[in-house]
Structure 1
Amino acid sequence: MWPWEHVAFGYLLYSAYTRVRHGESPEATSTVAMATAAVLPDVIDKPLAWEFDVFATGSALGHSVFVAAPLLVGVVALSRNADRSAAADGFAVGYASHLLGDLLPASVRSGALVADRLLWPLGSAPPDGHVSLGAGFDHYFAEYLASIVTLDPTPYVAVQAATLLATVALWTADGTPPLPDAIEAARTRGRRLFGD
């Protein structure tokens, strides 16, 4: 998945979670926490693999359930003491959604559960080969773009498009968090800097 797809998938799950658990739409701070966490495993692993050659694959430390589980338990536990449970819940759902978002497509494509990519250091995804961060991005983005512009999109591309459309519709119905807060903050800042 691409970063925007991870954020979209995470938002679908997080909005459903907040509606079921709290009976309301996500709020701004927790939505930012969710979006940050939804891309964090790739922010950790891709540069370490592609740029610094620390790992053979872009799915290692940040994608490992052995790292994610204690990280998320710690974030949620610490947040309870700081009265930041909504943001911690957003972070936890976002991070978990990233792992699930990588697991589902790989498993569907292979026809079997492909959990080894989440079991680093006991298991791992196939090696990416040593490429720079830019070359890795270029390679995968070219494949992605080619799959989108084809006149015969794969079912996977159709599901991606449907997920993005559903997310935009849900995000709009939820009031586009955190956009209104960001706009108001920019207006307030502008008034302070430039007057009314």
Structure 2
Amino acid sequence: MNCCEHCITKPVTPRYEVVLQTGLRVPMRDGVELATDVYRPSGSPDKLSSILIRTKYGKADYRLPEPSKPVAMMFAAQGYAVVVQELRGLFDSGGHFALLEHDAKDGYDTLSWIASQPWSTERVGTYGCSALGITQVLTAQLCHPAHRCAIVEGAGGAMSGDRQRLGVSFREVVHSDRTEETG
């Protein structure tokens, strides 16, 4: 059991069947395309709020029929569109992987793509643990209008040593109304 799955204590009863779109290519501002899957509830309302999961570990673990990371299926079965994307330069995504270098802008561009989809309410939350949490914090710094919330798990310790490199601390992003605490 990993930190991204530890809070799920009992199965949630699905409200919808889930439809998975694979092989999507989401263009970034510099022309690089990132490999993306979209999970949507079948028979749900026309417009959906969305959850974005950007991963450096690949999309395959989230996929049907028996995912080892069931969170995408769980959220989609409850009525959300779930977008799972491989980071730049990893697995099927284009470009060159450089740790933390493109995460903020790529996350922002992906939020724009989600907001522009015909199924989108233009309300997007982000989700992830550890490295997936760090990508959320980096994206949050750019204040995309569609980005409504972030569920960041287990990322604080990893970020504390990179404060200067990131230009902002984890606590400053997550607790922006209490920045005086960070010193």
Q: How high is the TM-score relative to the length of structure 1?
A: 0.28
RCO higher in structure (CA 8 A, sep ≥6): 1
Q: How high is the TM-score relative to the length of structure 2?
A: 0.30
Which of the pair has more CA radius of gyration? 1
| Between structures 1 and 2, the one with greater helix share | 1
